[in-house]
Each structure stands twice: as C-alpha cells, then as structure tokens.
Amino acid sequence: MSVMGATFVRNWRITVRAYPWTYFVGTLATGVLTIGVSMLAYRAIGGGRVGASFTAATGSADYLGYVTIGAAALTFTTRMVLWVAKAQITEYREGTLESQLLTPARRLPYLLGVTAQALSTTAVEITVLVAVAGVLGVRLSVPEPLTLLAATVAATVAVVGMSVPLSALMLAAGEAHITQNTLFTAMALLCGFTFPTSYLPQAARWLGEALPVTWALRVLRAATLPGADVDPWPAFAVCLLLGGAYLLVGLSILKPAERRALHRSARA
C-alpha cells in the first residue's frame, strides 16, 4: 500500500510540474475530430439517419451518442495505456529502472500507483472531451448509472491487464513508439469503439473478442445506450477474467524483460 501511495504522489508531482500538453492536445484532437467527422457525415450525407444494420446491431439509432461514447472510451484507453504500459520504459530511459529494481518494492503495487494517478488525470481529460462533444451538440444520457460505474471498473481492469504484458514487451524490445501505436490502431479497429464489432469480418471479430477492452465496451454500451436492453454482467465477468489473465501473464514475463533491459543498458 505504501508503494502504491508513494508512486501516486511522485507521479502527481511529475504531472503538476511538467504536464505533457502535446500528448493531451493530440489525444483530445483525435477524439474530437472522430466525433466531428461522424457528425458531419451524419448530417450532410446521412440526412440525420443511419442504416438498418446499425440499429439492428446496437438496438439503438443514436449514432452520434454511440460514436461519442466510443471516442471517449478510446481516449481513456490510449491515455491509460500511455501511462501504465510506458511507466517502466520511461524509468529505463530516464535511468531510474536500476534504482527501481534495487528497492524492495513489488511491481504490482507500483503499477497500481501509476494506474491510480493516471485515472485521476484521465478523468479530467475525458470530462473535457465529453464537454466539447456537448458544445458540438451531442446529447448523451446515462440510463444506468450503476452499470456506468461497473463499466469504469471493467475498463480499468482491462487496460491495466493489457498494459502489464505490453510494458514487458516494451522493456524487452527497448522500444515504445511502434508497439504503442500498433496497439492503438489495432484496438480502434477491433474492439468496437466507433462501430459495432459485428461489422468486422469473422476472423477480425475473434481477435477483438480476445481483448478485454472489447468486453469492457459492452458493459459501457449497456450503461449508456438508450434502448439497448442487454444484461451487462456476463460481459463484466468475462472482462474481469480476461483482464486478470493478461495481468498474470504480464507479471510473469516482467522479470525476464527487466533483466533483458538491464543487460542491454550494461552493454551500451
């Protein structure tokens, strides 16, 4: 607990002193412009209507609400992954990974501290995004507030679960740019952020099913889509199971990845 608290406080200080504005503007722009394109297409081309396939797949005709929630969820996911998965490679690049390995602190509380701090800043960023969407004229409703809370829990478990093996991968490869952007573009396609996954070809759909974020999104849709009458709890359970499995795999490969990173910096 003390490791988690200390990491939380340290990361808050870093954020307050040197907030990464360009990252923030970049991710916010991606979200806002995704909503913008959908809105312009919906009004100028669709005439304020969508095809029957969308209504059949989602149980709702609220296309703009669907895309806005998806864009906000994608912003949440990318920002959280940037924080949690890149925590250790940032230590490595700044030369503090050795100190981290020398302390008796365990990895999981450290990563949870990073997660807690990331959640607090990401919440602010998502609020800004949703407010901008509101100014643009998107009306959102939350028919199931309790389910929304569950969706936030599910999304956090999913993101942390995916970030830990990713962190190991980045440390082992000594590279973050390609890994993170490949994951972001793949997730944007496979997980059903801005369109229902039933649009995808069968093989791609299976890939999406293997990612916990896809299941977290199902809980989120149940909470936010008016008229989507689905039971969110099976998806919630699958999300926690999958996220937990990713987390366990990640923690088990973190040690060899750290060793590899150390050997690399010793050689350099």
Partner 1 sequence: MSHALRVVAAEALKQHRRLFGQPLVLFSMLLWPLLTLAATYYTVLPVMESAAAPQRWPVAADPRRLLAFLAAGALAYTFFFSLVQSAWHFSFERVSGTLEALFLSPASRMALVIGNGAAALTQNAWLFGCFAVAAATAADVLDVAHPGMYVVAAVALLVPAVAWGAFLNSLLIFSRDSAFLYTLLDDPLWFVAGVRLPLFALPVWIKVVGLAFPLTSSLVVLRGALLDRADLGDLVVPLGWLALLTVGLFGGASALLRLGEARVQRTGGLQVF
Where does this chain bind partner 1 (CB under 8 A)?
22, 25-26, 29-30, 33-34, 36-38, 40-54, 63, 67, 177-178, 181-182, 185-186, 188-189, 194-195, 199-200
Cβ 87 to partner 1, closest distance in Å?
Answer: 20
- Name the packing angle between helices 87-94 and 145-173 (round to 10°): 40
**Alpha carbons 228 and 222: distance in angstroms, whole number:** 6
Cβ 143 to partner 1, closest distance in Å?
Answer: 21
The residue among 8 and 66 lying less far from partner 1, judged by its C-beta, is: 66
Q: Provide the H-helix boundaries in 85-201.
A: 87-94, 97-102, 107-136, 145-173, 177-190
Contact 155/78 with Cβ under 8 angstroms? no
Burial class of 102 by CB neighbour count within 10 A (0 to 12, 13 to 18, 19+): exposed
Residue found under tokens 């050689």: 267
Q: Which residues contact 238 (CB under 8 A, 6 or more apart)?
A: 212, 215
The residue among 20 and 256 lying less far from partner 1, judged by its C-beta, is: 20
The residue among 44 and 135 lying less far from partner 1, judged by its C-beta, is: 44
What are residue 25's phi and psi, to 5 degrees?
-60, -40
CA 120 to chain centroid: 14
Cβ 145 to partner 1, closest distance in Å?
Answer: 27
Cβ 51 to partner 1, closest distance in Å?
Answer: 2
Cβ 150 to partner 1, closest distance in Å?
Answer: 26
The residue among 21 and 99 lying less far from partner 1, judged by its C-beta, is: 21
The residue among 26 and 256 lying less far from partner 1, judged by its C-beta, is: 26
